Structure 1
Amino acid sequence: MKKSLLALAALGTLTGVAHAQSSVTLYGIIDEGFNYVSNVQSASAGGRTSHQLYNLSSGVMQGSRWGLRGKEDLGGGLKAIFVLENGFDINNGKLGQGGSEFGRQAYIGLSGPFGTVTLGRQYDSVVDYVGALEVGSQWAGYIGAHPGDLDNFNNANRVNNAIKFASANYAGFTFGGLYSLGGIAGSFNRNQIWSLGAGYANGPLTLGVGYLNVKDPNTSFWGNQPNGTAGNNMGASSVAGVQSNPVISGFATAHTYQVVGAGGAYTFGAATFGATYSNIKFKDLGTDTVANMPAAQASYGGTATFNNAEISLKYQMTPALLFGAAYDYTRGSKIGTLDRAQYHQGALGVDYFLSKRTDIYMIGVYQHASGTDSTGQTAVASINGLTPSNSNNQTAVRVGLRHKF
């Protein structure tokens, strides 16, 4: 009898252990390389001059990072999960994402048979369901993203204080949404962010759609970093340094930032053809007060609208060798008496995998601008993530090495 009781107790203990199985994974990416950039704008005693730039930079193909990913089996198909992900610059050891310790992602949640609910700093639905279809998130890096990453397809900005749902996979179909609490007493809508999205991936076909709506974006979205500066240099309470992003920086006074995006890809043998479209609106300009905003930009009113379209080709010549090509067109609307801005951009890339974890790559991007940009000046080329050109043309070439662990 005693032996039976002891055996039953041992079995109960083992069952408890089985239901509480957990794991924590350390992972990361180190991306480093050499850049050449033409026509880089720089200050001088006589105004602004143009120079060529040669430099080392970190995290172009993918942001350099390290992270911890964990899960615990709670039984009945339910799991507790968490992710803490830090971005950094390998050249100087600085934290990425404006000095955030876990600025890329930081969330905890529960996962079950019907989907996952998570709480924390996370990606919006446009990033989740459409962003992966843009070449900047594939083989072209952030320099191949759309000008100023104006539609956030390349994930320049994350969402703080977010509650997020992601569905299970139903025969290739997935959907989800996100809501961010503004946290302003007595003002439910202030700093509010919400998004919805859906995707389909089955066989050679991949599709995605997403919607993002951001209230008071200069504070809640572009300026949600510890130092008040987001990845695209649009500050939380001022526009110090904002001229480094002339594509959209003049619209920092918008009350609402809205993105509607869609994309698709189809694979024929070794070739994958892709396309994305986005409609971006900066609504009710002049509503939010931004310190140090130039008077001309602070006086903007109405809505600034952009339409962006990208087509691409990716060719897997061998299992280890990939080629890519893309063309992107961005067309802005007129603001008052200001002429519309237009940006034409082409990108080429080659990626060779030395192993499953390590690859070497080369990316070339050319951009041509015309019209009047958001600052009210003649539009200059401004390849995403780089210092703007001093003219309407700019070329960037990147040779890099990436290792995943």
Structure 2
Amino acid sequence: MEASLRKLFTLGIVGSSLWSLTSFAQSSVTLYGIIDEGVNYTSNVATASGGKPLFNLSNGVLQGSRWGLKSVEDLGGGLKALATLESGFDVNNGRLGQGGLLFGRQAFVGLGSSQLGTVTLGRQYDSVVDFASPIAISHQWAGYIGAHPGDIDNFNNGQRTNNAVKYTSPSLGGVTFGGLYSFGGIAGNAAQNQVWSVGAAYGQGPLQLGAGYLNVRNANVGFFGNSSATALTAATANATNPVISGFMSAHTYQVVGASAAYTIGAATVGATYSNSQFKSLGDTATSGPNPLGYTGSVTFNNAELNFKYQVTPALLLGAAYDYNKSGSTTTRSGTNPGAIYHQGTIGADYFLSKRTDLYFIGVFQKASGTDSTNKAAVASINGLTASSNDRQVAVRLGIRHKF
């Protein structure tokens, strides 16, 4: 009897061990990252004594430097549990990115099914980023300095969405779609700081299409201000680029974006369009400051035409033109007629291996009219210090390594 019990006990231990090993084999945790570093030249950087050229080391231009963890567990029946934690950092000084947040790039957990799609919860990208922006050059070969002026439409995914529930469909004949909803987190006011978005994309053969819609309440705090280790309020403007910084009192920020690309052999032609609105200006209680007394709404229209050519499997060349125009809006003392920004970008990317590449980006921007600060518009290439006048050039030589 004792021998039989001993055998059953031993079999139980062996069975439990085998079950644990099988479960472990069906799970995976992946460590990954990108380190992007290089030298920048920027002309006409505004200083107290006028415009000055600037040479400096700069981090994460083509892609933000980061490290992350991805976990996937097979739950059986085609269902998987998944999670992502992604942290941005600055190679030059070791500091955390995204305002000092530990996992400021992404942090979410969810369930996915190859037949039903994926539901995730946490800090995530909106539907404009997921579906409309991949065709923009900032996602391909130009990085954040090639983004639309002020990243007016979030096509450069400069802003993340907190407290978000997100659904992404499986591919259905080349079509994917999805949506996101973010709880504002304000007691007694479900709409304050609320974010929602929807989008869809198609990719089959040489044709690629995408579209997305984004709606944000009190965007100065709940969207432009959500990359900070400390809580921000409506007392300050949380966007600093003069293209948009004066419009942070908008009660609602809205983006409609669309894109298309077609590949012929080694060449790809692409185009993007976005309509961005800062609506109901003057909400100083829950949105942001309004020193110029703006009222009503202001609309930005942005169009990008881009081209890339895969010269060899290792060498990519690109060129693009972007046009951005803001409409007029009413100030306390009169009318702001709006501004126009013309931007040209060229680039080259040479892959030394599958994980390491050397790249070049050149950007020229010309501004005219009146910007959001109600002053003569100055050139302001995205992510860089604004120019002292209406023109600015930026040149980037960089290296990117993926692991």
Q: Which moved more, 1:350-359 or 1:281-290?
A: 281-290
TM-aligned CA deviation for residue 238 of structure 1: 3.6
Contact 2:255 2:275 in 1 (8 A): yes
1:324 aligns with 2:324: no
Structure 2 gaps of 5+ residues are none
Report matched runs for 1:100-179 at 5 Å.
100-112=101-113, 113-179=115-181
TM-aligned CA deviation for residue 292 of structure 1: 9.0
Normalising to structure 1: TM-score of the pair?
A: 0.92
Match of 2:306 among 303, 308, 312: 312
Contact 1:346 1:367 in 2 (8 A): yes
Normalising to structure 2: TM-score of the pair?
A: 0.93
Return the letter of the residue paired with 1:110. Answer: L
Report matched runs for 1:279-294 at 5 Å.
279-289=275-285, 293=289
TM-aligned CA deviation for residue 79 of structure 1: 0.8
Q: 1:88 maps to what in 2?
A: 89
Report matched runs for 1:205-220 at 5 Å.
205-220=207-222
TM-aligned CA deviation for residue 172 of structure 1: 1.1
Deviations 1:168-213 (A, max 9, x none): 1112110000000011111111110000000111111111000000
Contact 1:223 1:237 in 2 (8 A): no
Match of 2:33 among 28, 40, 44: 28
Q: Say if 1:393 and 1:29 are closer, same or farther in 2 by CA, change over 3 A.
A: same
3-state SS, counterpart of residue 130 of structure 1 = helix
Contact 1:143 1:384 in 2 (8 A): yes
Q: 2:399 maps to what in 1?
A: 401
Return the letter of the residue paired with 1:239. Answer: T
Alpha-carbon distance in 2 for matches of 1:53, 1:210: 37
Q: Say if 1:30 and 1:334 are closer, same or farther in 2 by CA, change over 3 A.
A: same
Q: Say if 1:16 and 1:92 are closer, same or farther in 2 by CA, change over 3 A.
A: closer
Q: Say if 1:174 and 1:241 are closer, same or farther in 2 by CA, change over 3 A.
A: closer
Alpha-carbon distance in 2 for matches of 1:114, 1:6: 41
Q: 1:239 maps to what in 2?
A: 236
Return the letter of the residue paired with 2:324. Answer: T
TM-aligned CA deviation for residue 58 of structure 1: 0.3
3-state SS, counterpart of residue 257 of structure 2 = strand
Q: Say if 1:254 and 1:228 are closer, same or farther in 2 by CA, change over 3 A.
A: farther
Q: Say if 1:225 and 1:399 are closer, same or farther in 2 by CA, change over 3 A.
A: same
Contact 2:37 2:59 in 1 (8 A): yes
Contact 2:284 2:290 in 1 (8 A): no
Structure 1 gaps of 5+ residues are 230-234
What fraction of aligned residue pairs are identical, expressed as a percent?
61
Report matched runs for 1:157-306 at 5 Å.
157-227=159-229, 236-239=233-236, 244-289=240-285, 293=289, 295-296=291-292, 299-306=293-300
Contact 1:344 1:369 in 2 (8 A): yes
Q: 1:232 maps to what in 2?
A: none
3-state SS, counterpart of residue 129 of structure 2 = helix
3-state SS, counterpart of residue 48 of structure 2 = strand
Contact 2:220 2:238 in 1 (8 A): no
Return the letter of the residue paired with 2:274. Answer: S
Q: Say if 1:240 and 1:282 are closer, same or farther in 2 by CA, change over 3 A.
A: closer
Deviations 1:283-314 (A, max 9, x none): 00002348994622xx1000010000000000
Alpha-carbon distance in 1 for matches of 2:94, 2:17: 46
Contact 2:121 2:163 in 1 (8 A): yes
Contact 2:275 2:299 in 1 (8 A): yes
